[in-house]
Chains A and B, each alone.
Chain A
Amino acid sequence: MELTNLTIQEASELLKSKKISSVELTKATLDRIHNVDSKVKSYVTVTDELALQQAKQADERIAKGENVTPLTGIPFSMKDCISTRNVRTTCSSKILENYVPQYNATVTNKLADAGAVLVGKTNMDEFGMGSSCENSAFFNTHNPWDLNRVPGGSSGGAAASMSASLCNFSIGEDTGGSVRMPAGFCNVTGIKPTYGRVSRYGLISLVSSFDCIGPMTRDAYDCATVLEAIAGHDEKDSTTYQSAVPSYTQNINKPIKGMKLGISKEYFVAGMEAGVESAMQEAIRTYEKLGMEIKEVSLPHTKYGLPVYYLLLFAEASSNLARFDGTRFGLSVSDNAKDVIDIYLQTRHAGFGDEVKRRMMLGAYALSAGYYDAYYLKAQKVRTLLRRDFETALASCDILLAPTCPTTAFKLGEKTNDPLAMYLSDIYVVATNPAGVPALALPAGFSKDMPVGMQLIGKHLDEATLFQVGHAYQQVTDWHKRLPSLCHRR
């Protein structure tokens, strides 16, 4: 039994029955990170000391039988844009390279309260800006299925750490596919919850109105378990829903027979890799066999998804990143500075990467007097149309099925000189974020030995149905159980 390959459910059973201890499990995970991650490079920071301390506390909790949750004693990794007190939180940016938060994000607190064990912080595209993890200011993360390929982005480190069995679950963040797209590339399960379902307090914002923290796991059941632990209203985040969080695992085994699966014709067009398309057709047939009714639906404004998403991202990001000015925290460059503006300029010049600068400039432009109406305001109006698209489509079916990406993982360096080609890889995942609807990414097969991802898109706050339908699929398929060769027993 390889401890690091376990699902949360399996590991939790072993912990509760005291067949293993959290310290054992955590040590195994840390050992594996130190042995394997030099190839994958999914972690920016490994928190050995904190992890062992949390593992010890978890073991005490289990020993006393007090307040034991399904996550107690389970090692996890977290995307490096979520604040962790006393553990540096970099957003994979030079400007935050040595930034150590004074406070925990709400999600960090919730996981600590549940007894989960943080083993480290994972690499990402700088501030979440990218689709391959190649925009990390520190290093590239490699796809565990083929080290010459990207893990996807921006939560590339999270997906790779999960895929390479360097944790039992990972916390990612999805602004426009950043959980789902790398989940698809790395053969893991991951959810972008409904906007406002999980508190963003302490999450370093990319796009305040899109950002969603979501778990990445081995399967839909684990995903439901983790989301249940981190979701809910937070007084510190006014954009969170007040409504109570349902038990996502309670009805996860209910049959899906008779439910309606919507297929949007706009998502199945030229440009999709043949292996991806055949995997989607296979998944649809699987659902048909499970008794689902297949319905063709339309999301007529899909073609505007990418421009709307990027325009609003540029605008909000240009404002969200203004606070990184070198005066209070993070990098500060003031060599022979003439005045405070000079400190700002030098710090931001040295601290931000090219993609971040490009997006901030575009955003500042789109918000400028005289351009606001034509860009920002127009994009907000089209955003409403995108939301209505999903509402209309989901009025006639329970769930939509779509690929997470038109291709499988591409080669490192393949798209770095072509930002537009990079943006296009997000074409299937971006529209859900402006619309706010939840979407669950699941492993759906392989194309030329690389994983193919699909996503199920649901109604606002209806994550329970996503898990139910995702779990049903994973009961009759084993794609999600397949591990890259570097996880096989040696």
Chain B
Amino acid sequence: MKLTYEPVIGLEIHGELLTKSKMFCSCSADYGSAPEPNINICPTCTGLPGAMPTANKKALELAALVGLALNCSINKHNTFARKNYFYPDLPKGYQISQYELPIAEKGWMDVTSPLTPLLKGGGNDSLLPQGEGLGMRVRVRRVHIEEDTAKLSHEKNYALVDFNRAGVPLLEIVSEPDLRTVEAALDYATKIRAILRYLGVNSGDMEKGVLRFEANISVRPVGSAELRKRTEIKNLNSFRALARASQYEIERQIKVYESGGEVLQETLGWDDARGITTSQRSKEDAHDYRYFPEPDLPPLKLNDAWIDAIRIQLPELPEAKTKRFIADFELTPSEAHLLTSELSLATYFEEAIKHAKSSPKIINTWIAGEFMRNLNESNVEADSVSARSLAQLIDMVTDKTISGNAGKTVLTELFKNGGDPAEIVKAKGLAQISDESFIQEAVTKILNDNPSEIEKYHAGKDTLLQWFVGQVARATKGKADPVMTKELMLKGLEERRK
């Protein structure tokens, strides 16, 4: 009998923290906008003899904020540790990190995945606590702080080192191996990114490398609870790379087992161009990092008051916002998810609701549809059209001051040139006319001009009704209320039957 396999995936997510200064010195952490290499440096971040680290308080606060957002407990006593290894991008010969006592640990996050066994209320895996609602709960093992390394540029016979990035605060978020599908891993990573962006601690700008993934992967026969030898894929710089590398590695491992082989515990790299994982280090050559407590930094002692002060800074997070949008605004889960995927979008939506008389459902339809389309096409910032303007525009459509089509025209104009929706309607003469005598006049004229079409309609070609309505719209330049037009047209057509 052929075995079926399931993947066992754990993710490590490294994210830079958006602080002004570096983790252990007062140099600017903004290496991205440094005009040249090696200018945001000092004795500490270049590892000069005798220089000492001092911990960045803001970074500690941001790390604790992330810990709390991921439902972790904060370690009131936490320590820095040295991770010792030699590499030219590591000036001290060790990286200051956290090891035994990270700032936060034992948290969780719920993810959804269409292929997750638990989705259907399964749950044959006793390791996993049942999550709320759909999906599954992924345990977050730990959240810890460390420092980024310098940047190496490899030339033909040498390499150049830029220390502007050395010492920039990094957060490492480590999950338990609770993920069972690539989709779930992607969802987890996406949600972590959204949370980091909601908290304002990381821009989530994958192209700039501020967020990097590492996937720990093993496979096992479905139904088994064993944890087999795992491989670790380093430095995955995009969601696409995470998905492709994981998928490749899962398939590779299954092939190894099916051909009677053994998977080796090793560190892998992802070759994006060739679409394969490549071996970097086997277990035998694995670094022994010789961790020990960093003697240059005293243990961090955090008290309840400090933690509470961080906790009250926690904003409403994507998951809670989604639930509230579903409950309060009668949105479907997928509608709510789309709006809450970006904090700015969700805020914009709620701002528009505040200014509008129209229902949230209608506002969502506009935002998810026309607004997003214009946004993607126009390449301008979302806030170039204010939520108040959008609300005004939607209300004009709702109260039939303008037609839906006219509304789209106004929105496009707002994106292009800005302005006031009412002014645009006036200037472009887009106001809808609901005056019965005016519309009746137009209807009568169209009917009088098209006797042959009336005959065809009477002969049973019902679809012509829409054509007649369209002719009125064209004649009135879209100003005629389409509902009233249709009513009067139907009446006129019936009167001419006999």
Chain A interface (Cβ within 8 Å of chain B)? 81-83, 89, 91, 96, 99, 101-103, 105, 200-205, 207-209, 235-239, 315-316, 318-319, 321-325, 327-329, 340-341, 344, 364, 367-369, 372, 376
Contact = CB atoms under 8 A, between A and B. Distances in A.
The winner among B46, B94, B288, B296 for most chain A CB atoms within 10 A is B296
The winner among B55, B82, B93, B161 for most chain A CB atoms within 10 A is B93
Contacts of B55: 238
B298 interface: yes
A335 to B, nearest CB: 15
Given A82-B50, A201-B50, A236-B54, 4 more contacts: A102-B43, A203-B50, A319-B82, A325-B93
Contact of B296 (A208, A235, A372): A208
B133 interface: no
A238 B296 contact: yes
A103 B290 contact: no
B225 interface: no
17 contacts: A83-B49, A96-B49, A102-B43, A102-B48, A103-B43, A202-B50, A202-B51, A236-B54, A237-B54, A316-B292, A319-B93, A319-B292, A321-B93, A322-B86, A323-B93, A327-B88, A367-B291
Nearest to A367: B290
A340 B159 CA distance: 10
Contacts of A322: 84, 86, 92-94
A367 B84 contact: yes
Contacts of B82: 319
A325 B86 contact: yes
A238 B54 contact: yes
Nearest to A343: B88
A321 B50 CA distance: 11
A340 B295 contact: no
B27 to A, nearest CB: 13
Interface in B44-83: 46-55, 82
Interface string B28-56: 00000000000000010011111111110
Interface in B274-297: 288, 290-292, 295-297
A7 B438 CA distance: 112
The winner among B46, B54, B86, B161 for most chain A CB atoms within 10 A is B86
B352 to A, nearest CB: 48
A212 B29 CA distance: 32
B52 A200 contact: yes
A235 B91 CA distance: 22
A342 B87 CA distance: 12
A205 B93 contact: no
Contact of A364 (B43, B92, B159, B290): B290
B50 A316 contact: no
Contacts of A91: 49
Counting from the closest, the 8 A-B pairs by CB-CB distance are A322-B93, A208-B295, A367-B290, A209-B295, A204-B49, A202-B50, A204-B50, A83-B50
B48 A329 contact: yes
Contact of B288 (A81, A105, A368): A368
Contacts of A201: 50-52
A89 B51 CA distance: 13
Contacts of B53: 238
Contact of A344 (B86, B91, B159): B86
Interface of B: 43, 46-55, 82, 84, 86-88, 91-94, 159, 161, 288, 290-292, 295-298
A239 B43 contact: no
Contacts of B93: 319, 321-323, 325
Contact of A323 (B91, B161, B290, B291): B91
B131 to A, nearest CB: 35
Contact of A238 (B51, B288, B297): B297
A200 B54 CA distance: 12
A96 B51 CA distance: 15
B24 to A, nearest CB: 9
A372 B290 CA distance: 8
Classify the interface of chain A: helix, strand, loop or mixed. loop
A323 B44 CA distance: 12
B49 A323 contact: yes
A236 B53 CA distance: 7
Nearest to A234: B52
A367 B48 contact: no
A482 B235 CA distance: 67
A99 B292 contact: no
A238 B48 contact: no
A236 B55 CA distance: 10
B49 A327 contact: no
B25 to A, nearest CB: 9
Contacts of B288: 368-369
Contacts of B291: 367, 372
A328 B51 CA distance: 14
A299 B88 CA distance: 46
A340 B88 contact: yes
Nearest to A235: B54
A238 B49 contact: no
Contact of A372 (B87, B88, B292, B297): B292
Contacts of B296: 205, 208, 237-239
Contact of B47 (A328, A340, A376): A328
B48 A239 contact: no
A236 B52 contact: yes
Contacts of B290: 318-319, 364, 367-369, 372
A89 B49 contact: yes
B50 A376 contact: no
B46 A328 contact: yes
Contacts of A202: 50-51
B464 to A, nearest CB: 81
B270 to A, nearest CB: 23
A430 to B, nearest CB: 17
A367 B91 CA distance: 20
A200 B53 CA distance: 11
The winner among B82, B91, B292 for most chain A CB atoms within 10 A is B292
Nearest to A207: B295
Nearest to B25: A236
Nearest to B287: A369
Nearest to A369: B288
The winner among B51, B88, B290 for most chain A CB atoms within 10 A is B290
B50 A205 contact: yes
A325 B52 CA distance: 18
B407 to A, nearest CB: 60
A341 B86 contact: yes
A325 B53 CA distance: 20
B260 to A, nearest CB: 32
B290 to A, nearest CB: 4
A189 B72 CA distance: 54
The winner among B49, B55, B93, B94 for most chain A CB atoms within 10 A is B49
Nearest to B43: A103
B21 to A, nearest CB: 13
B59 to A, nearest CB: 14
Contacts of B87: 340
Contacts of B159: 340
A323 B296 CA distance: 15
A102 B298 CA distance: 26
A316 B161 CA distance: 26
B109 to A, nearest CB: 31
A281 B402 CA distance: 107
A82 to B, nearest CB: 8
B139 to A, nearest CB: 25
B298 A239 contact: yes
Given A238-B296, A239-B296, A319 B84 contact: yes
Nearest to B55: A238
Contacts of A105: 50
A321 B47 CA distance: 11
B155 to A, nearest CB: 13
Nearest to B297: A238
B92 A238 contact: no
